[in-house]
């Protein structure tokens, strides 16, 4: 009897893409875990996807799937506004849950989920799969080693060029914009690498690039497709996030942290789109004899959801209920909420 019988709710691209959920689960080759069922509200989509990926069971109604006593773990891979309701149903059905990012639409919803998970003694794993990848583990050890000295600046640049052929029409305001969907990864990574500092202030401007920036975001009816945010932490670090989609600019996704002894730059696109790339991290250090030294530590990089599924299953097997408190996820959601509020107020700084 396998200890993990997994069901996935949502059969869109994040589930079926060759790098993401189904593929990542299968790549684990976990002999003690089985992907048993798929569910999707679009008629026949779960059936078609189950046939394509050789999954035994399929449902047009996820609540029917939750009635199956064999399934004890569920991945929620639907759009963000539906996450809270579905995850609550999963937890109340007595099953463990992993939620795709962004976790929920706001911090209050995540608080409700964490309380429900603890009440039902079930595992709730939520947030970014990137936290469990070897390249982030390396950067975390670097930050903790003291080699960088005092870190005072963190930058994330996440740009999807218009040349990628995305739809130029931003969706209606429903937390699908760059400031939520894209920033959720970047903010959680940054909070993790900095040691989970307390946030004290957030300011942000949101734009729509389809008709340039002449119409203020606060008067728009659609989500942002460009967001510039600045977050101040209690430990003195300034975090700057620049997210753009559908912009006439080169495609880029980089993290850069600056300390008074050393800095690093992590090229996420190189790590994700060149399988096994070991030169995605660049270190910068200045010495009196050699001047500026630039080096590339050999860190074999990974992508996909395999590591977070492994983490999820380990938590279930070892009954790590404390994971369900989601402290870092709650801090991330607090920042995302403040970004939305600041954008709606034309960039006014929000004190937390």
pLDDT < 70 positions in the chain: 1, 162-173, 209-214, 275-276
For position 208, what pLDDT does the model report?
A: 79
Considering the four listed CATH numbers 3.30.360.10, 2.30.38.10, 1.10.3720.10, 3.30.450.20, the one that applies to the domain covering 131-302+334-351 is 3.30.360.10
For position 255, what pLDDT does the model report?
A: 97
Going by C-alpha positions, the residue among 14, 64, 60 that lies closest to residue 308 is 14
For position 276, what pLDDT does the model report?
A: 66
CATH 3.30.360.10 domain position(s) in the chain: 131-302+334-351
CATH topology assigned to domain 4-129+306-324: Rossmann fold (3.40.50)
The pLDDT > 70 percentage for the chain reads 93
Going by C-alpha positions, the residue among 225, 208, 154, 162 that lies closest to residue 186 is 154
What are 130-182's pLDDT values in tens digits? Answer: 889 999 999 999 999 999 999 999 999 999 876 555 554 556 667 778 898 88
For position 162, what pLDDT does the model report?
A: 65
For position 172, what pLDDT does the model report?
A: 66
């Amino acid at each position: 009897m396998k200890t993990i019988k997994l069901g996935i709710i949502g059969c869109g691209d994040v589930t079926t893409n060759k790098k993401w959920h189904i593929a990542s689960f299968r790549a684990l080759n976990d002999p003690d875990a089985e992907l048993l069922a798929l569910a999707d509200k679009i008629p026949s989509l779960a059936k078609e996807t189950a046939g394509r990926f050789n999954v035994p069971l399929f449902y047009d109604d996820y609540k029917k799937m939750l009635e199956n006593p064999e399934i004890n773990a569920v991945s929620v891979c639907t759009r963000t506004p539906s996450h809270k309701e579905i995850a609550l149903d999963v937890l109340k059905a007595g099953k463990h849950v992993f939620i795709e990012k962004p976790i929920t639409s706001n911090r209050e919803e995540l608080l409700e989920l964490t309380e429900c998970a603890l009440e039902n003694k079930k595992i709730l794993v939520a947030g970014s799969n990137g936290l469990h990848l070897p390249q982030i583990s390396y950067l975390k050890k670097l930050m903790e080693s003291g080699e960088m000295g005092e870190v005072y600046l963190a930058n994330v640049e996440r740009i999807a060029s218009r040349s990628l052929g995305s739809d130029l029409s931003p969706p209606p305001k429903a937390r699908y914009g760059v400031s939520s969907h894209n920033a959720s990864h970047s903010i959680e990574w940054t909070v993790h690498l900095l040691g989970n500092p307390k946030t004290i202030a957030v300011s942000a401007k949101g734009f729509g690039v389809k008709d340039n920036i002449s119409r203020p975001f606060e008067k728009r009816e659609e989500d942002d497709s460009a967001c510039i945010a600045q977050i101040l932490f209690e430990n003195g670090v300034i975090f700057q996030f620049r997210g753009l989609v559908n912009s006439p600019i080169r495609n880029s996704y980089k993290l850069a942290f600056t300390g008074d002894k050393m800095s690093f730059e992590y090229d996420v696109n190189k790590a994700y789109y060149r399988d096994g790339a070991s030169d995605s991290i660049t270190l910068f250090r200045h010495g009196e004899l050699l001047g500026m030294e630039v080096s590339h530590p050999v860190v074999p990089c990974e992508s996909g959801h395999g590591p977070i599924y492994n983490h999820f299953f380990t938590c279930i097997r070892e009954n790590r209920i404390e994971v369900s408190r989601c402290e870092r996820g709650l801090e991330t959601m607090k920042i995302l909420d403040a970004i939305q509020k600041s954008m709606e107020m034309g960039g006014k700084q929000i004190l937390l």
